[in-house]
Each structure stands twice: as structure tokens, then as C-alpha cells.
Structure 1
């Protein structure tokens, strides 16, 4: 009996990673009912990270925190032993904006700090911040405030929310916030390598996606630069250097705030593969099926399917990819995948926004792989 690991990322806008995996599994087992299938939903630190972790060994817990506009929101964190995973997008993400109305200047990350407080109160000794998909560009100052940091205006009044609030910053003290994380392993999971400031910084690159106009991008970048200067003036010796570290600009500057608290940046893709125990599953698999919504040039920089393929190659396990679309030439994909199937090659309809059609086509891809690999009935035909 053959063994298959189905481990995809989400198809953004269409299906979650778990839904993709289930559709592929359904088709594969229709053609090879005796195959043994391990199903693992993947995430790289962005949206869907908690769901992916909870599809594995983690358990969900609900926490009520401040959302990006200051209204309360209920979010899920993932817990396994004394490790807690917090997904920034589930707290202050674009999807948490009431009515979808973007507020680039005032969106706050305070709720992420409150989620950190929840994890600390539960005795967590490892906290993973999954960074990506946020509505904020506040340099993580909201997070720092929630943990006891005291950014204030000239007269000692606490600054207002978001990047606009940072513009009024004159004094800041992070002693209490830093003490709160003492002894905790804070992991900043992201595959974004932007610094905090400048033309490749968080405001310039991601601000427009959050609704910022050109002038607002400049306003946000100036406010963040002022934040760095005020921290340096307050005796935070590493403030300037950390702003230049790749990943400081992740999630509107939450990466920077995390580094100020002693956090370490890790590749989201590789970290989650380890966190979800993928190496153990690879060791018992005859082949792997992975994929994502779009296989493109960004995929080659180490996104989940390629990161998984690299690990599988070390164990000699072939990998097949399924994508919503693939814009890569065959010679690029051949270095990682034995085969690639794209849903756009199977239909003239717009499957990217049609979850039912996408699931149907994914099941078809699963059947195709089973026929090629096992033959009818589920008997392995060899690598």
C-alpha cells in the first residue's frame, strides 16, 4: 500500500489550506482507495496560520482583544503545551476592518500585544507571532503599549492610535514591555525581508495595499523614522540598527517591535514546516502533493511549496505540485517538482473566486496523480 503526504498552502480567495488538502485527498482516494494519506494544511506565517496549526497538533483558544479600529474582536490563537501561536492577521488584519473600510493612518496593533498578554498569563515559554496580512502601519507601537510601553506626547499624554499617533511621539519607555517578555522565546515568523524605513520599507511597499495615498505613505514613513529616533534618544542603543534588519518591516512594523522585545526573525515557511512535524511525515511517504494559489517567481524565493520540496529532496521523496495557476516555465519547476498541474489549464472559467469549482478541479488533480502513481485500485507502481 502506498503512502502519500498531501500538504498544500491555501488558495487565497478560494479555499483554505485544509480545504485544498481535503479536495485533493478525495480525488486521490477515489482512484486509489487503498492508499494511505497523511493530510497537513500548511501556512507560512501569514493569514491562515492558526487554522493550519490547529489542523495539526495545536488546539484553538478564543481571546477577545482590540481590533485594528479599536473595536473588540474575538480571535483564535493556537496552543500546544507551552507554545502559543498568534496570527497578527486574525487580530488586526485587513479582514478585521468593519465593512472593509481601510484606515491606514490610525489602525492599531494593540490587540496583538493583548494576545501576547493572554499567552504570558497562561504560562507560555514560546510565543510565535505569525506576521502578515495586517491593516496596520504603526511600527508595532500598539503592541508595545499593551505590554506596558509608554509612548507619549510632550505633555505625557499617551499618543493616539496608528502611525498618525506616532507623529506626536516625544518620549518613550519600553522597560515594562521588555520585562514582560524576559525569558520567553519570541519567534517572529515571516518571509518578508523589508526593513522598517525608506523606499523598501513597510509604509512604501505595503502602505498602498492598506489604503494609504502617496502623501500618507510619506507621512507614515516619517512617523516611523521619528519613532526610531525617539527610541535611540531614550537609550535604546539598538533602535537604529534593528530598523534596518530584514523583516523589521513585516506586518506594518510588528517585526520591528518584536525585535525590540528580543524576538528573532525566522523564515515563516521553514519554521512552520518544523512546527507542524513535516519531516516525520516525509519519512513515511512515497510521494508528496503540495501547492498554492499561484506558482510564480515569488514561489522560488522560498515560499511553502518550494521550502517543502527542498526538505523532501533531502529524503529522496518526490514532490508533485498543484496550483491555481502556474506562470513558471517547466525548467524552473522541474528543479523542485516531478509534475505541476494548474487549475487554469483545466477550465476556461474563473476558478480563483469559485471555491466549488476549485474543489472539483483539485479532486480531478488528485485522481490524475493516483492514476499516474499507483494505477487503478491503489497498488503502488513505483517511483
Structure 2
């Protein structure tokens, strides 16, 4: 897929415009969005992704379009799992409900910038070193096993990352909220507000999530443009999804297992691709392993869709037959969604 420079520029301009408009609207009137508002915005963003995929189909063919849709679904499904952590972060810092939307928006913009850098580095590494697919594949399989083992553990055990802890110790801060301001002045001294810490936490936490989501989507497509746009569309609707399905997250008790299966599947797919393109001298004498099968993109899309549907249906069915205590054993103690 040969993407002209003007397409990259146009994509960047439109993305910046959309996020700037969204941030300006949210920033001008901080509020807790209604279900109708969330559903409307989410429908628009999902519709934009579908239309974009059709545009890719028209311009570059069905294979590229299927790669985009598959990558978008993988990123979206992994983002849903990340919402558990976002809920915990909001509760930990006691973010007022009317400010949560703004904090999420700025954190998502930060995450998108950092992901773009990560994608660029990954694309260069893949082009220069085919053995990177071995690394990505093994890492995803390891992550899948780890995620499956932790699937039933209490997710409330969130710890701040080192950067956030360093900032909290290094810079003077206040515990008082000053609306959406990230800096304030107390006793003549400039201090950082809780909003600054929350935004930094959300942005850097999402970057940690990208350590598995970016290699996963490179297992779907090697085209950097599709990797980037799939991430953009997945992050666009994340804020609305946070408010729209908050209580529902508690009922997706087998989500971690479904995502673990997906990561393992993509990890194996990457390893098979690495074997097919093998150039490492200590593996098959540096020759390509021709018998290693390549998993077609249509099969990947079928597996992704089937896994997500089965995981959601089985989770909702099983959770409906469980007591609250039994659900807590799977997802951790229930968090009061209304209190944030």
C-alpha cells in the first residue's frame, strides 16, 4: 500500500481538527455527559471508522480494508479492557464527575502523540529487521499467558508508575481541585493541581497499554498508515465508551480471557510470519521456512469477531446467573459508577 505524502498530511490535519474541536467543546463547558450525548458521539466516531475503511477499500483494495477493520477491532477491544484501569484511576484521585471527561480527553491526546512515535519506531524496526516479528510474537504470547493468569485477580491493585511518582515528589502540588486548570498559585507559589497528575497518569498508563496493543496490530498489518489510523479511530471513541458502558464493564467477567486468546492468536501469527521471512542464521540456516503457513487476513478478522462476540455473550450470560459476590471474585469489588 503506497500512501502519498498528501494523504498523511490530510490525515494529520483532520485528526488534529477533530480532537481540537472535541477538546474545545469539552473544555468550554466541563460536564458529565448524558447517555444520549455519549451514544451520539460514539455513533459518529464508529460511522467515521466504517466510512474510512470503505475509502481504504476503494483506494487500496479489499485486503487493506480488512486489515484496517481487523486492526481497529483489536485496538478497540484492548481499549475496553483498559477502561477498568481508567475507572480505578478516576476513583483513586477522586476526580469530580464533571471533570472526568476533560481529563480523559487530554490524556487521550497525549496517548495518541506517544503512540504515533511508538508506531514510527516499530515500523522502522520491522522494515530493517525481520526478526523483530519473533520478538513481537513471543512478547504477545507471554502477555496472553500473563493476562489469562491474572484474569480472575482483583484489578483494584493499581500502582502509580514511576514517572507520576517522580513528578509528585519533585514538584510542589496542591490537593485542591481548580476546575480544569493544571497549574495554580497558592501562597505565592506556583503548584501543580490534581488535574495535572490525573492527565499525566492517564496518558502514561495508556502508553504502557500500547506495549501490547501496538505489536498486536502489527500482527494484523505491516502498513504504518493503517496502524496509525486504526489507533486514531479506537482512541476517538474511548472517552464516550468510558461513560456509556461503565456499569456494563463489571459484567464482562471473561473479557481478560477473550483478549488473552486474541493476543496469543496474533502472537502465533507473528511467529509464523517471522518463520516464513526468516533470516536468522541459527534458525534453519538463515533460510526462509517455507512450510510455515501464513494466516490470511480474512481468517484473522473472523477469529477476532468470533472471539469478541463469544466473550461478550458468555460473560453477560454467566454474570447474570451470579451473585454480586461471585462477580466480585472475577472482576474485583464493584465500583460505584455514579460516584466515579
Q: TM-score range by the shorter chain?
A: under 0.3
**Structure with more contact order per residue of length (Cα contacts < 8 Å, sep ≥ 6):** 2
Which is greater in Rg?
A: 1
Taking structure 2 as the reference length, the TM-score comes to 0.25
Which structure shows the higher strand fraction?
1
Which structure shows the higher helix fraction?
2
